[in-house]
């Protein structure tokens, strides 16, 4: 059985029911909107985020979920989908998971409006049902994700990212949504309990490890077999490069920054930067940091009694670290 299927197994029934509820949550009286949302739903990814919501809810709720759990999972998926549609517009990206993106097929104006629609549907789903505690969790996540993106854009212009700033960016950009999934799962079944904050921290640790793993893919992996250098081409300062810059001589530092700033489209120069980072401990440092965050996530999980839901969450943590893409 594939690892994702193993993770999903204890909540397979809930995920099936969730899919139906999620499609209903997206529905509109506008034919064009329904056509686009149908297109989006049929090209869904692994749906890790709703899985986090249900696994955490069942671990904390002794195997039980409620209507709030389904609404929490739907809200997170609506908001996440909205951010992906908007991201493709911002990045001028024409593909998403191997298919054409919404903006490629229906142009930017419609894509932005569809993203806005999904965002408002998510917020109204919470408001209409009085789930104000869930709404607060998701609203904080949306604010932090926007701040993270803007902070990254601001820093990319000057390439003056320290490790602290890097962690601030990835915590907001990536980790905050996974943290929201986990705290939503806890809040849905046990509102106001210490589990809500504990699970938020758990999700944040996984989210940070997830992003560091993504950063490492830029330096090559077994599946691709060669480095991609995409982050360097896009002038993104990731942990392996930041650490290498911190320990580099003045001359090497100047060469590295100049390479990323002015020669980021030169394949030969990008390869030289990748080799320099590899040879100066940048990758080992980032791998160690990733495992440290994994261990912190596991420490939090270990405070809960054993269950099939806890085991699935442990598998999820390992999957984040071991995935090949």
Residue 162 phi, psi (nearest 5): -90, 170
CA distance 52 to 43: 20
Q: Are 206 and 63 in contact (CB under 8 A)?
A: no
- Give the pLDDT score at 224: 45
Residue 195 in this model has a pLDDT that exceeds 90: yes
Task: Give the Cα separation of 218 and 206 in Å (integer).
Answer: 19
Q: Tokens 């991201």 map to which residue? A: 87
Instruction: Please report how the helices 132-158 and 176-189 are oriented relative to each other, as an axis angle in degrees rounded to 10.
Output: 170
| pLDDT confidence tier of residue 261, bands split at 50, 70 and 90 | confident
**Is residue 276 within 8 Å of 247, Cβ to Cβ?**
no
pLDDT of residue 225: 44
Q: Please, what is the Cα angle at 157 between 288 and 224, to 5 degrees?
A: 45
pTM of the model: 0.88
Per-residue pLDDT tens digits for 139-182: 999 999 989 988 888 887 777 788 999 999 999 988 999 999 99
Helices (H) and strands (E) in the chain, counts: 16, 2
Question: With 0-12 CB in 10 A as exposed, 13-18 as middle and 19+ as buried, what is 9?
Answer: middle
The answer to whether the CB of 119 falls within 8 A of the CB of 78 is: yes
DSSP run (H or E) holding 240? helix 239-247
Higher pLDDT, 160 or 252: 252
Question: Helix 239-247 to helix 267-279 angle, to the nearest 10 degrees?
Answer: 70
pLDDT tens profile 17-61: 998 888 887 778 888 888 878 777 767 677 888 999 999 999 998
Domain residues for the domain of 124 are 3-322
For residue 99, the cross-strand partners are 96
Number of folded domains in the chain? 1
pLDDT in tens, 217-235: 888 755 444 456 777 777 7
Helix (H) or strand (E) holding 186: helix 176-189
Whole-angstrom distance, CA of residue 55 vs CA of residue 258 = 46
SS3 21: helix
Cβ(188)–Cβ(68) under 8 Å? yes
DSSP-derived secondary structure for 67-84: HHHHHHHHHHHHHHHHHH
Q: Supply the CATH number for residue 185's domain.
A: 1.10.600.10
Q: What are phi and psi of 161, to 5 degrees?
A: -85, 125
List the one residue out of 216, 195, 164, 176 whose CA is nearest residue 323. Answer: 216
The pLDDT of residue 28 is: 81
Pairwise CA distance, residues 24 & 46, whole Å: 20
pLDDT tens digits, one per residue of 72-102: 999 998 888 888 877 777 777 776 666 777 7
Task: Tell me what pLDDT residue 24 has.
Answer: 81
Report whether pLDDT(198) > 90: yes
**Residue 19 burial by Cβ neighbours in a 10 Å radius (0-12, 13-18, 19+):** middle
């Amino acid at each position: 059985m594939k690892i994702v299927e193993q993770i999903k197994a204890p909540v397979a029934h809930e995920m099936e029911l969730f899919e139906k509820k999620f499609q209903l949550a997206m529905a509109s009286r506008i034919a064009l909107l329904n056509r686009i949302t149908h297109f989006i739903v049929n090209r869904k990814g692994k749906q890790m985020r709703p899985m986090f919501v249900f696994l955490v809810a069942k671990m904390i709720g002794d195997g039980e979920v409620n209507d709030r759990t389904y609404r929490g999972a739907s809200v997170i998926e609506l908001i996440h989908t909205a951010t992906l549609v908007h991201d493709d517009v911002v990045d001028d990206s024409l593909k998403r998971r191997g298919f054409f993106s919404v903006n490629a097929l229906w142009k930017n104006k419609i894509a932005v409006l569809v993203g806005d629609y999904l965002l408002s549907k998510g917020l109204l789903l919470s408001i209409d049902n009085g789930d104000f505690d869930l709404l607060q969790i998701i609203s904080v996540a949306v604010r932090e994700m926007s701040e993270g993106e803007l902070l990254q854009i601001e820093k990319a212009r000057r390439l003056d990212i320290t490790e602290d700033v890097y962690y601030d960016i990835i915590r907001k950009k990536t980790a905050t949504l996974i943290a929201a999934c986990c705290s939503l799962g806890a809040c849905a079944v046990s509102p106001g309990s210490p589990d809500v904050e504990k699970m938020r921290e758990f999700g944040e640790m996984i989210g940070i490890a997830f992003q560091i793993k993504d950063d490492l893919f830029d330096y090559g992996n077994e599946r691709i077999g060669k480095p991609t250098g995409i982050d360097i081409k896009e002038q993104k300062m990731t942990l392996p490069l930041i650490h290498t810059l911190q320990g580099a001589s003045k001359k090497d530092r100047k060469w590295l920054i100049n390479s990323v700033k002015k020669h980021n489209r030169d394949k030969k120069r990008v390869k030289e930067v990748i080799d320099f980072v590899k040879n100066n401990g940048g990758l080992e440092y980032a791998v160690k940091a990733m495992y440290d965050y994994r261990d912190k996530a596991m420490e939090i999980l270990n405070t809960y009694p054993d269950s099939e839901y806890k085991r699935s969450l442990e598998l999820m943590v390992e999957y984040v670290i071991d995935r090949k893409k």
